[in-house]
């Protein structure tokens, strides 16, 4: 099933403010969604590119936060590595189904090849009935993108919901013009909680930036830790406490965060590696 929390308020009724900057002595841990948050969407996920300036910004934030920066994405770890050039920071892929800790230790939900093939076949069957819908095989999960054919979104959603009873153990994760069939039981909030239990995130204030419905899990986990939850874009309702208009403003805000950190924090002595 898709995520449908009980929202305490509607941001349309109570406009959200812009997020704050770090204060003196604040020890932040940044958790960043990718598509729609750091990067603008593209019709095809493979068409997205990371500019060198963005990579440099993230690398500097990673250094000044002593490594407490993580990407939390619907993309797979392999896809994130390809996009960001195998960066050194922690990453949660496939909404937390895959996770690479800051020390390089990795875990992944295990799903049999036969079950993955069944889900892929089911998704492809649905896509054939809706021209313009793109099937993305993420191995553990399958996404149906209709950014190039948004008129099909609701019909596609109904078709996927009708299919779910025949796919035990899987759930629908709805997103921005994408519907994803993924193994149940894991989400971005649980990934954030897991990361916060270990160095270098433990004991820090979580700051989560996300744009989509799947990021509401991340907002919820961040709020429970009295952290800072930031919605990027205008999707409503939301559990986020703050908002930024879009990816360009999110990048600009992150640059301001870095400028503040540079005033009082020595860079983390760590070989950054990777390149975008």
The H or E element containing residue 64 is helix 52-64
Radius of gyration for the alpha carbons in the chain, expressed in angstroms and rounded: 18
Nearest to 179, CA basis, from 236, 210, 134: 134
Q: Which two tokens stand for residue 15?
A: 């406009």
Is 211 marked active-site? no
Report CA torsion sign: 131, 246, 54, 202.
Answer: negative
Nearest to 246, CA basis, from 258, 234, 229: 234
CA distance 104 to 90: 8
Residue 30's φ and ψ, nearest 5 degrees, are -95, 130
CA distance 185 to 183: 7
Which of 33, 187, 212, 215 is catalytic? The answer is 33
Nearest to 36, CA basis, from 235, 177, 247, 250: 247
Pairing verdict, β 178-183 and 142-145: antiparallel
CA distance 117 to 243: 39
Q: What is the rounded (10 degree) CA torsion for 197, 198, 204, 209?
A: -80
Three-state SS letters, 114-172: HHHHHHHHHHHHHHHCCCCCEEEECCCCEEEECCCCHHHHHHHHHHHHHHHHHCCCEEE
The catalytic residues are: 33
């Amino acid at each position: 099933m898709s995520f449908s929390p009980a929202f305490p308020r509607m941001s349309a009724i109570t406009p959200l403010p812009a997020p704050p900057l770090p204060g003196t002595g604040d020890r932040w841990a940044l958790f960043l969604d990718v598509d729609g948050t750091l990067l603008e969407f593209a019709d095809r996920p493979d068409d997205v590119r990371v500019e060198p300036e963005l990579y440099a910004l993230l690398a500097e934030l990673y250094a000044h936060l002593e490594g407490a920066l993580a990407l939390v994405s619907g993309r797979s770890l392999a896809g994130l590595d390809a996009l960001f050039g195998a960066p050194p920071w922690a990453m949660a892929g496939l909404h937390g189904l895959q996770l690479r800790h800051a020390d390089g230790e990795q875990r992944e939900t295990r799903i049999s090849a036969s079950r993955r093939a069944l889900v892929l076949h089911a998704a492809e069957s649905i896509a054939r009935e809706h021209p313009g819908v793109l099937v993305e095989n993420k191995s553990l999960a399958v996404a149906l993108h209709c950014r190039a054919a948004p008129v099909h979104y609701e019909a596609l959603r109904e078709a996927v919901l009708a299919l779910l009873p025949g796919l035990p153990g899987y759930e629908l994760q709805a997103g921005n013009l994408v519907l994803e069939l993924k193994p149940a039981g894991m989400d971005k909030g649980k990934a954030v909680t897991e990361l916060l239990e270990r160095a270098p995130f433990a004991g820090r204030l979580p700051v989560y930036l996300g744009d989509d419905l799947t990021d509401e899990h991340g907002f919820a986990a961040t709020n429970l830790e009295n952290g800072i939850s930031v919605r990027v874009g205008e999707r409503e309702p939301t559990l986020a406490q703050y908002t930024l208009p879009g990816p360009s403003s999110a990048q600009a805000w992150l640059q301001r965060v870095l400028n503040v950190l540079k005033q009082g924090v020595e860079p983390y002595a760590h070989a950054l590696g990777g390149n975008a």
